[in-house]
Amino acid sequence: MQYLFDAWSKVAHYLKSAKHVLLLCDYDGTLTPIVDRPELAAPPRDTRKSLLKLARNHRYTVGIISGRALADIKSRVEVEGIIYAGNHGLEIEGFGSSFLEPIAEEMRPFFQLLSQVLSATLRGIKGTLVENKGLTLSVHYRSVDDTEEKKVKDAFSKVTDPLHVTGRIRITQGKKVYEIRPPVDWDKGKAIAWLIAKCKEARGKADALPIYLGDDLADEEGFKVIERNNGISIFVGEEDFQSVARYFLRSPEEVAEFLEML
Ligand SMILES: [Mg+2]
């Protein structure tokens, strides 16, 4: 990976020569610093201002792709005229249409029940937070004491292993979070590919330069799709992280700077 600001003249050249830019960003850890309680995550003020400006710029199509529920991410970013993709792209609103993964939608009651079972199972471990996001479910353990993390893992496995081995759920891991997803072949990468195609369609088959910024394992599939489409993939975090992204920025503060430069 190359530090984005070191490669700025090259990147600026790509940006200037592109007729249109499809700018896609993850939310937590990318636009906002990661915090102990996910409900408190908020972007720096400059970031929102830049997103507003870019959303109004006809050369840009802007989108946020988050693991959060669609309604949650929309109410946090609160910028009109941009694309919102929630639950890792299982639900998308943008280009005047919406997408809802049908199997995921059918599994809502199942996730509701599973979230109750997990909450009851993890109740004894201080700091765990079970978040039912409608189409997926997160178990956060950032606030759990290090010595208790094994307990979380064991309790989580006890409930989810039987469902996982029978293929009824998918499990992924992020930063201090377990995620349970429906067993569908859909992720941020597939959602980004869908958005690239939609953007092209909306612009009368004209290509746009796609950019994606993300900070976690779930973003790697997104970077791959961006690379396949000759776009700009930007990992947010430490340089030594094994990411497939071509560039990196160190923090959401640097992302704010980058957005300002755009
Ligand atoms: Mg993230």
CATH number for the domain harbouring residue 160: 3.30.70.1020
The answer on 117 and 247 residing in a single domain is no
CA 38 – ligand 1 centroid, Å: 11
Question: Tokens 């792709």 appear where?
Answer: 65
CB 44 within 8 A of CB 252: yes
Q: Ligand 1: distance of its center to the CA of 236 in Å? A: 9
Query: What's residue 41's pLDDT?
Result: 81
CA of 139 to the centre of ligand 1 (A): 15
**Distance of CA 219 from the midpoint of ligand 1 (Å):** 7
Decide: 35 and 41 in contact? Cβ < 8 Å: yes
Say yes or no: 113 and 150 in one domain.
Answer: yes
On whether the CB atoms of residues 180 and 169 are closer than 8 A, the answer is: yes
Pair (138, 77) in one structural domain: no
Q: From the candidates 26, 72, 187, 215, give the one annotated as an active-site residue.
A: 26
User: What is the DSSP annotation of 133-168?
Assistant: -SSSEEEE-TTS-GGGHHHHHHHHHHHHHHHHHTTS
Residues 116 and 177 in one domain: yes
| Confidence (pLDDT) at 38 | 79
Indicate if 16 and 42 belong to the same structural domain.
yes
Instruction: Residue 66: give its domain's CATH number.
Output: 3.40.50.1000
Q: What per-residue confidence (pLDDT) applies to 251?
A: 96
DSSP H or E run through 74: helix 70-77
* pLDDT given for residue 169 in this prediction: 97
**Statement to judge: residues 110 and 15 lie in one domain:** no
* H or E segment and range at residue 181: strand 177-181
pLDDT for 34: 87
Residue 130 has a pLDDT of 97
**Same domain, yes or no: 137 and 8:** no
Instruction: Please name the residues in contact with 15: beta carbons below 8 A apart, sequence gap of 6 or more.
Output: 21, 209, 262
pTM of the complete model: 0.93
Higher pLDDT, 106 or 37: 106
Q: Which of 153, 181, 209 is the endpoint of a domain?
A: 181
39-43 — which CB contacts under 8 Å span 24+ positions?
A: 41/76, 42/76, 43/76, 43/77, 43/252, 43/256
Quote the number of domains for the chain: 2
Task: Name the token pair of 13.
Answer: 């050249």
Centre of ligand 1 to C-alpha 175, Å, is: 8
* pLDDT tens digits, one per residue of 139-188: 999 999 999 999 999 999 999 999 999 999 999 999 999 999 999 999 99
What local confidence, expressed as pLDDT, does residue 151 receive? 96
Residues 153 and 70 in one domain: no
Helix (H, G, I), strand (E, B) or coil at 101: coil
Residues 97 and 143 in one domain: no
pLDDT of residue 71: 96
What are the pLDDT digits (tens) for 2-46?
999 999 999 999 999 999 999 999 999 999 998 888 788 888 888
Regarding whether 212 and 110 lie in a shared domain, the answer is: no
88 and 60 within one domain:
yes
Amino acid in the structure at residue 204 = G
Determine the distance separating the centroid of ligand 1 and the alpha carbon of 30, expressed in angstroms.
6
Question: Cα(4) to centroid of ligand 1, in Å?
Answer: 18
**Residue 97: pLDDT band with limits 50, 70, 90:** confident
| Full residue range of the structural domain in which residue 201 is found | 2-101+186-261
Residue 104 confidence (pLDDT): 96
Q: How far apart are CA 28 and CA 71, in angstroms?
A: 15
Q: Are residues 82 and 199 located together in one domain of the fold?
A: yes
Number of neighbours of residue 256 by Cβ within 10 angstroms: 20
The residue among 163, 181, 199 that closes a domain is 181
26 is catalytic: yes
Last residue of a domain, one of 154, 181, 208: 181
Q: Which amino acid is at 2?
A: Q
CA–centroid distance, 214 to ligand 1, in Å, is 6
Q: How far is CA 228 from CA 3, 121, 246, in A?
A: 20, 43, 12
59-92 pLDDT tens trace: 999 999 999 999 999 999 999 999 999 999 999 9
Lowest-confidence pick of 40-44, 110-114, 119-123, 177-181? 40-44
The whole-number pLDDT of residue 37 equals 81
Q: Are 203 and 20 in contact (CB under 8 A)?
A: yes
Compute the distance between CA of residue 9 and CA of residue 80 in angstroms, rounded to an integer.
31
Predicted local distance difference test score (pLDDT) of residue 35 = 83
Query: According to the model, what pLDDT value does residue 59 have?
Result: 96
